[in-house]
Amino acid sequence: MPSPFAALPGAVVPEGAQAPAHYGSPLGEQRRLAEGAAIVHLGDRRVLTLTGPDRLTWLDSISSQALRSLQPGVSTETLILDPQGRIEHQANLVDDGETLWLIVDQDDAEPLQAWLTRMRFRMQVEIADVTDEFGVVGWVDRTGGAAGALVDAAASPRMRWRDPWAVVSPGGYQYASGEQHPAAQWAWVEAIVPVAGLGRLAAALADASADASPAGIGAAEALRIEAWRPRWSGEVDERSLPHESDWLRSAVHLNKGCYRGQETVAKVHNLGRPPRRMVLLHLDGSQSTLPRPGAAVLRPGALDESGGTVDGAVAGHVTSAALHYELGPIALAVVKRSVPVDETLEVEVDGGRLPAAQEVIVPPDAGATANVPRLPRIGGRPRR
Bridge partners of 301?
none
Topology of domain 4-235, per CATH? Gyrase A; domain 2 (3.30.1360)
Q: What is the pLDDT of residue 285?
A: 87
Q: What is the pLDDT of residue 384?
A: 47
Domain spans of the chain? 4-235, 275-360
253-263 tens-digit pLDDT: 999 989 999 99
Architecture of the structural domain at 275-360: Beta Barrel (2.40)
Mean pLDDT value across residues 115-129: 96
In single-letter form, the type of residue at position 228 comes to: W
Mean pLDDT value across residues 140-163: 95
Element housing 179 (H / E): none
Cβ atoms of residues 331 and 278 within 8 Å: no
Query: Residues of the chain with pLDDT > 70: what percent?
Result: 94
Q: Please tell me the distance from the alpha carbon of residue 344 to that of residue 201, in angstroms, as a whole number.
A: 45
Cβ atoms of residues 63 and 262 within 8 Å: no
Mean pLDDT value across residues 145-160: 96
Q: Please tell me the distance from the alpha carbon of residue 309 to that of residue 313, in angstroms, as a whole number.
A: 6
Mean pLDDT for the chain overall: 93
Mean pLDDT value across residues 115-141: 96
Q: What is the pLDDT of residue 26?
A: 97
Predicted confidence band of residue 6 (pLDDT cuts 50, 70, 90): very high
Query: Residues of the chain with pLDDT > 90: what percent?
Result: 86
